Amino acid sequence: MIRSLLLACIVLFGAASAHAQSVVVTQGEATLKRVPDRAWLTMATETRDPQAPEARRLSAEGMTALQAAVKGAGLSDDAIRTTGYSLVPDMEWKNGRGIVRGYLVRNQIEVRIDDLDKLSAVIDAVNASKSTTVSVTGPRFGLKDATSVQAEALRMAVASAVERARAMASGAGRMIGQVVRIEESNLAQPMPPQPVMMRMSAESATPTPIEPGEIEVHAVVTVTSELR
């Protein structure tokens, strides 16, 4: 009796193992191209002065003027947010000894542009005083409804993986059953643009040309399906 039960367990275990191995694993990809409808710019002011209080004051004046110019180009208050502030000594090294020459203040903001027709005007609004250097990084383009586009790309990627599974199963004279596992692959993010330093004392007469082009939304999934 015990021997019969043991034999039955072995047979069932063998059947379960064989069933667990009857799968096909495929990868699917999808890429959607869309015209961007949103952009971000990173702007920063840098000021130097021998005295820390004066450096802070000049920095506050420069950033206040910069934000006013950006808002004057048609952006709302909620389109601007501070992303960094630093006050550090400006050091000079001689014979291994550090000498404080003054202080450097850097104030950085991120600007969101929801109407790309205003992008050139926002860039051209940047102006700096003699004591302030302004840096502009970007633009970085995006989509307002990125979630829907990403979901569509994922659906297409899964459909592609399932179709590949059907083709592979057909080649082996088999069929696929239910999908038992779906995994999304993490994609590497593109490198951010490098800052372009600009020092401006007057408004440019020629609008800055900007071509948004298209952005790609890419999805990669791995699908595991039953093989029958």
What pLDDT sits at residue 104? 96
Between CA 180 and CA 227 the distance in angstroms is 11
Cα(29)–Cα(76) distance, integer angstroms? 39
141, 38 in Cβ contact below 8 A? yes
Q: Enter the tokens of residue 158.
A: 């899964």
Averaged over successive runs of 10 residues, the pLDDT of the chain (228 residues) comes to: 41 46 92 95 95 95 93 93 96 82 95 95 82 90 94 96 96 94 74 45 66 92 95
Looking at domain 20-34+146-187+219-227, its CATH architecture is 2-Layer Sandwich (3.30)
Domain boundaries along the sequence of the chain: 20-34+146-187+219-227, 38-142
The CATH number given to 38-142 is 3.30.70.2970
How do residues 97-138 score in pLDDT, each as one tens digit? 888 889 999 999 999 999 999 999 999 988 766 678 999 998
- Type of residue found at 58: L
Specify the long-range contacts of residues 52-58, CB closer than 8 Å, at least 24 apart.
52/87, 52/103, 55/87, 55/102, 55/103, 55/104, 55/105, 56/87, 56/105, 58/105, 58/131, 58/132
Closest C-alpha to 158, from 9, 29, 10: 29
